[in-house]
Amino acid sequence: MEKVYLDNAATTQVRDNVITKMQEALSQMYGNPSSTHSFGRSAKTAIESARKTIAKYLNAHPSEIIFTSGGTEADNMILRCAVRDLGVKTIITTKIEHHAVLHTAEDLEKEAGIKLQFVRLDAEGNPDLNHLETLLEADESKKLVSLMHVNNEIGNILPIDEVCDLCHKHNAYFHSDTVQSIGHYPWDVKKTPVDFMTAAAHKFHGPKGIGFAFIKRNSGLKPMISGGSQERGFRAGTESFHNIVGLEEAFTSAYDLLEDEMAYVQDLKQYFIDRLKQEIPGVALNGLSGDMEKSTYTLANVRLPIDPQKALMLLFHLDIKGIACSKGSACQSGSEGVSHVLAEILKEEDLKKPSIRFSFSKFNTKEELDYTVQVLKSFVEN
């Protein structure tokens, strides 16, 4: 049986060099980074080296990089601390954000009494920036705007520089969940001056359980986790040293190889879309995922012309054929009903048709995509 992994937006295969680096860290550098002896100092030096490496690629200051367990923790930390420490009274977001942002904002509405407002979306899932400005102008309350750079289900790319400008014009903080774009697009936090952003290593061929928050210097945020002085006092707890080393290796590889790997994966996505349209009449792409300029090159959200009853068996059928993909975010794969993202942008009759997210990486091939298209075609026709 063919085995085809097309769920890279959920998580990615770890690079061999990353595994090697982590094994070396586990076997040779096992000291506690907070210990003052040579074993601890070696580990601490490697952590600070990783922080400097990441900061250099982002054009940030090393003190602005805080290691976390991943994107969800980083999103929670930033939103909660902004309300607690910065006097934020209003959070402005959209209804198609990752649940790490949506649920946290909803919790803060209940727990802290903040005002939660949603930017209107067009039919393809793009936020209405005129409406965003209206919300920013509405009152004098301290505001935090939280909009993801690349949507994890439909791939739409936010015009992030325009949002930065709007937020700064109206003296609002700007947080962007950049989990789907860090490691896939170049970044410069001086040219795109976000206040806060988040990343997860497992989205760019690194280990799970490690990521980071970018927190602009002198932001005023205080620690969410109390205890020791790790992460310059911002996040207590013994550092996950081997994961941090793995993150650094994956991050470095992602950006050193970015131009070639981006071109390769872009070609895969275009090839997949072209083959789908050739072989399956009536196929559609959700959001902007069919637009190679306005959506990420790493995924396509495909809507198939299938009867709703038959659609119930589609993911099972693909799995039986060895094809891994998803109907939306892996974080909500156990939940019932349609994707909250698609529910906001699709008409009711289109929601009844199956929508599948296929996401690509450097490890995929056109032969795998040919096989996937043939499996889909056979399912649709039989």
| 167 catalytically annotated | no
**pLDDT computed for residue 312 by the predictor:** 86
pLDDT tens, residue by residue, 85-138? 999 999 999 999 999 999 999 999 999 999 999 999 999 999 999 999 999 999
Distance CA 193, CA 361 (A): 28
pLDDT tens, residue by residue, 194-231? 999 999 999 999 999 999 999 999 999 998 888 988 98
> What percentage of the chain has pLDDT greater than the value 90?
90
Q: In what order do the strands lie in the sheet with 299-303?
A: 284-285, 299-303, 355-359
Helix/strand number for the chain, H first, E second: 13, 12
Residue 236 pLDDT grade (very low, low, confident, very high; cuts 50, 70, 90): confident
Between residues 225 and 258, the one the model is more confident about: 258
Distance CA 223, CA 199 (A): 18
Supply φ then ψ for residue 173, to 5 degrees. Answer: -80, 150
Distance CA 54, CA 60 (A): 8
Distance CA 33, CA 235 (A): 14
Cα 153 from chain centre: 10
List the catalytic residue out of 164, 167, 325, 331: 331
pLDDT tens, residue by residue, 298-345? 999 999 999 888 888 999 999 999 999 998 655 544 445 689 999 999
Lowest average pLDDT, out of 63-77, 221-235, 287-301, goes to: 221-235
Distance CA 251, CA 257 (A): 10
Is-contact 189 59, C-beta < 8 A? yes
Query: How many Cβ atoms from other residues are within 10 Å of residue 279's Cβ?
Result: 16
- Show the domains of the chain with their CATH numbers: 4-12+258-381 (3.90.1150.10), 16-256 (3.40.640.10)
Average the pLDDT over 334-362 and give the result: 89
pLDDT tens, residue by residue, 9-68? 999 999 999 999 999 999 998 999 999 999 999 999 999 999 999 999 999 999 999 999
Supply φ then ψ for residue 332, to 5 degrees. Answer: -120, 20
